[in-house]
Structure 1
Amino acid sequence: MDALLDLFGSPPAKSSHVTTSLSSNLPPEVEQGNIEYKLKLLNPSSSRFEHLVTQMKWRLREGRGEAIYEIGVADNGLLLGLSQNDLDSSLDTLIRMANKLGATVTVLQRKCVSSDPHQRFVVEALVRKVPDDQLFLDLRLAVLGNVDAGKSTLLGVLTQGELDNGRGKARLNLFRHLHEIQSGRTSSISHGILGFNSEGKVVNYAVCGSAEEICASCNKLITFIDLAGHEKYLKTTVFGLTAHRPDAVMLVISASNGVANTTKEHFSFAIALGMRTFVVITKVDMCQEHTTTKVVEQVQQLLSSYKKVSQPVKSDEDVLTAAQNFSDDKVVPIFMVSSLTGYNLEQLQSFLNSIPLRQFTAELEDKQLQQSPEFQVDEIYSVPDTGTVVGGILTCGIIREGDRVKVGPVEIDSKAVFIDTVVSSIHRNRAPCLVVKAGQTATLALKGVEKSYLRKGMVVLDRKHQCDKLANTCKEFEADMCIVCHDGACIKSGLQGTVYVAGTMQTAIIREIKGKESLGQGDNGHVVFKLVKQSEFLKVGSRVLFNKGRTKATGQVTKLRTT
């Protein structure tokens, strides 16, 4: 891995990792996105240099702080290459451009594209800049898989920096309850963090003594959301996918057990929610090669059933290709690792460092920041000397310490109301901060609110917009739905199941399917849902997931029925 990731602290020409096996070209360059092709960057004039810096700033914004530069590549994707001297000069220019923006440059790969009559090279470089209002780039990764697949053990090894002892030592730090330690099975939603510094090196608890030190030492942070694998905790797992809004999914499969029914179910939820996914096959140290080959074939068969393309990762070059292709949700990388011996863990770490953040257009990000704040409550705590604290994600707007807000809806005398409160303090990744912005997770201390009044699925809103927000509180809503998976039974009026909308998880009844008696596999329909228990804060356009047994339907809210 040291040869794979070279920081440009020393002259770029000293990089020793040269690959000679590669395709003849890349796809043509596109204006959108965070990938930029440059044939050469040789001694640009001052005006040209400023233009290049502005262009880099745009690519970084498109990639939310990360950009990939392909040096020696024409705009049409042809790998023409540069001589060693021209390549060194172009890399020097790239570093000066990055320095102008306060960014860092890391060589991901150096390729020899021609040796006749002289060697010509292309270089792939990662440019990374943490936004001025953030300590690091943050990527949330949900971890799915069947019980005993080795999810918590793998996360323990990655976050603690120590290999497992074969008896589950590595996973103990992720468990939250005594019965989880005793059974070795996750039943709740737990979190772990793994950082990478500007050189692409791992920052975990083996390097730093606390989460605060990890956050202060890294410029990219992976937050793992460890979800339960046992079928009886399925609702908790799906809630973690919908409420915690991960950027991607890591599907963990045991080489000794293969693809189980729960594995298929978890993958179907990830597909239904449109989440990018990669597969990690664990416990390869326990199996013969023919066994692991069979498991890989099972995984490829599962992926092909959803029209996904598998990409087994076997080399350092495969890692970089997988990271680039990960933005295309049709490609699913497959890693094979061992938490006991450490086999291929460096490849997985390199992929996590290179994996692109979920991309949004600059216009969409600006629009989210300008909207009235909406904070989705996923966790509730009672902290001594602080009071009630809620954890979750800010879906839009900005919340500052001291803001006057409302939390709800709370049903009092059969009426949905919001409780006035004040944000007394804010924490992100266990460190205090003054501001949280759209897309960021945080915990908010709410002044004067009893914990007993609150529940998961509530929202914290700007107090000034109370009247507008109450219009979003309802028990009935309409949605355009599509059946993505079923067990042979059709969806009909009167059917009762679990509905997930953002941070809301509640039992719901299908009141009506407009114009149709039932819906089967692949059918689309306009469905009216009624929540069984209490009113919830919903929004038109929110993604809906309905689950009943093996039957799943996904869609969008189209209308709220308020009373």
Structure 2
Amino acid sequence: LRTYDEAKVYLEGSKIVTLIDLAGHERYLKTTMRGVLGHLPDYTCMVVGGNAGPIGTFREHLGITVALGIPCFVVVTKIDMAPREVLERNLEKVMHLLKLPGVNKIPFIIRNKNDAAIAARHMPHGRVAPIFLVSNVTGQGLQELKAFLNMLPPKIDWHERAKGKFLCYIDEKFDIPGVGLVVAGLVEEGSVKSGDRVLLGPFDDGSFRTVRIKSIEVNRVRVERAEAGQIAAYAITNARYDEIRRGMVLLDLDATPVAVRRFKANIRVLHHPTTIKVGYEPVIQMKTIRQAAKLVKTTKKFLRSGDTDTVEFYFILRPEFVREGDVFFFREGRTKGIGTVLEVKAAS
């Protein structure tokens, strides 16, 4: 593949597997959360050093994967440099974490391509957690991993999603000389083609604006249409670079979007050192949205680790595009929780 560029791989590949590289360090958890929530991955791959074991944020990342209902598999690397007894001990630690109550996975060590085929077939159900032992130095285990990725079926039915109305959350923006403003993100629903007029927003005042798609690129290839499941870049008109922010959306022109400032949600507190009450101000991460919000209503007076409740949040800075059923994380310091939107209230 050294002589292939990204465009050639996209055009000539028999199967395209998109890997979203996420940060492992706790300092960059917000980046990891944006990658998971903003790209709707079919599966997660947890990478563990065979010589170090499941250190750092492995537990936290595993918890996020389980909370979001995303099937996962584990790749244990550097097995060439890890002494046998160290590798076995670290493998036992990984398997112990996968079997914990609440995680409840069935660890399955992949020894050959037949094992890889069995694992790929059962992955969408989310119960089996395949474990690959690989070395990038000797090449051991890499063929089994490649075969697994090749046989792995998509978990999300993107063909069904493509039948809906166009929806894309903006994840990146660029100002390209000779082209102008370009925004990029995952097409979550529907499709769009060059020349289409779509809605862009919400802007800080809660409004949506009609813009035109001048051109589209997918994997550095100019295309006429982008469909659900593709990460695409769009050159658009009628908007300035400084007006665009991460978390805005592109929508079908026939859509009737509502800019949301306040929403009701079911939440679960995953970790908090003391108690949470009305007035608490965490950062909400939902899709590619990241904004501080205030807890304005609860049914319980105090919330602690492990508690669940129906609450209301109010976005502090500006309205966002939020829909019922959207999953979000909230965090502040070492406090972390997960929630699902039950009801949205239009910004007034």
TM-score of the pair, normalised by structure 1: 0.59
Which amino acid counterpart does residue 255 of structure 1 have in structure 2?
A: G
Match of 2:236 among 422, 430, 446: 446
Aligned residues: 345
Question: Which residues in structure 2 correspond to 1:139-288 (within 5 Å)?
Answer: 205-206=1-2, 208-288=3-83
Which residue of 2 is the match for residue 381 of structure 1? 174
Which amino acid counterpart does residue 546 of structure 1 have in structure 2?
A: F
Question: Which residues in structure 2 correspond to 1:353-432 (within 5 Å)?
Answer: 353-360=150-157, 365=160, 368-411=161-204, 415-432=205-222
Q: What per-residue deviation string (whole Å, max 9, x for no partner) do you get for residues 355-408 of structure 1?
A: 11114397xx1xx44433222111111222111111111222221110112211
Query: Secondary structure at the residue paired with 1:381?
Result: strand
- Counterpart-to-counterpart distance in 1, 2:290 and 2:221: 29
Conservation of the 8 A alpha-carbon contact between 2:266 and 2:339: yes
Which residue of 2 is the match for residue 506 of structure 1? 291
Which residue of 1 is the match for residue 252 of structure 2? 462
Conservation of the 8 A alpha-carbon contact between 1:244 and 1:378: no
Q: What per-residue deviation string (whole Å, max 9, x for no partner) do you get for residues 311-338 of structure 1?
A: 1112222111111121121211111111
Identity of aligned residues (%): 32
Q: Gaps spanning 5+ residues in structure 2: where?
A: none
- Counterpart-to-counterpart distance in 1, 2:265 and 2:172: 27
Q: What per-residue deviation string (whole Å, max 9, x for no partner) do you get for residues 48-96 of structure 1?
A: xxxxxxxxxxxxxxxxxxxxxxxxxxxxxxxxxxxxxxxxxxxxxxxxx
Which residue of 1 is the match for residue 328 of structure 2? 544
Which residue of 1 is the match for residue 263 of structure 2? 477
Q: Are the structure 2 counterparts of residues 361 and 446 from structure 1 closer, same or farther at C-alpha, using a change threshold of 3 Å?
A: closer
Conservation of the 8 A alpha-carbon contact between 1:373 and 1:399: yes
- Counterpart-to-counterpart distance in 1, 2:335 and 2:342: 22
Which amino acid counterpart does residue 265 of structure 1 have in structure 2?
A: E
Q: Shift of residue 491 of structure 1?
A: 3.3
Query: Secondary structure at the residue paired with 2:19?
Result: strand
Structure richer in helix, relative to its length: 1
- Counterpart-to-counterpart distance in 1, 2:318 and 2:158: 36
Is 1:321 the counterpart of 2:118? The answer is yes
Q: Shift of residue 212 of structure 1?
A: 1.2
Conservation of the 8 A alpha-carbon contact between 1:382 and 1:389: yes
- Counterpart-to-counterpart distance in 1, 2:109 and 2:266: 36
Is 1:309 the counterpart of 2:106? The answer is yes
Q: Shift of residue 441 of structure 1?
A: 2.0
Match of 1:497 among 278, 282, 285: 282
Match of 1:340 among 123, 126, 137: 137
Which residue of 2 is the match for residue 8 of structure 1? none
Which residue of 2 is the match for residue 171 of structure 1? none
- Counterpart-to-counterpart distance in 2, 1:487 and 1:535: 27
Between 1 and 2, higher relative CO (CA 8 Å, sep ≥ 6) is seen in: 2
Conservation of the 8 A alpha-carbon contact between 2:26 and 2:56: no
- Counterpart-to-counterpart distance in 1, 2:149 and 2:243: 39
- Counterpart-to-counterpart distance in 2, 1:463 and 1:504: 21
- Counterpart-to-counterpart distance in 2, 1:507 and 1:212: 38
Which amino acid counterpart does residue 421 of structure 1 have in structure 2?
A: V
Which residue of 1 is the match for residue 88 of structure 2? 293
Which amino acid counterpart does residue 336 of structure 1 have in structure 2?
A: L
Q: Shift of residue 261 of structure 1?
A: 3.1
Q: What per-residue deviation string (whole Å, max 9, x for no partner) do you get for residues 106-128 of structure 1?
A: xxxxxxxxxxxxxxxxxxxxxxx
Q: What per-residue deviation string (whole Å, max 9, x for no partner) do you get for residues 210-252 of structure 1?
A: 1111112212111111112222111111111101211111110
- Counterpart-to-counterpart distance in 1, 2:164 and 2:8: 33
Q: What per-residue deviation string (whole Å, max 9, x for no partner) do you get for residues 336-360 of structure 1?
A: 1112221211111111111111143
- Counterpart-to-counterpart distance in 1, 2:19 and 2:173: 19
Q: Gaps spanning 5+ residues in structure 1: where?
A: 1-204
Match of 2:315 among 531, 540, 549: 531
Query: Secondary structure at the residue paired with 2:59?
Result: helix
The structure with the larger Rg is 1
Q: What per-residue deviation string (whole Å, max 9, x for no partner) do you get for residues 6-59 of structure 1?
A: xxxxxxxxxxxxxxxxxxxxxxxxxxxxxxxxxxxxxxxxxxxxxxxxxxxxxx
- Counterpart-to-counterpart distance in 1, 2:183 and 2:158: 29
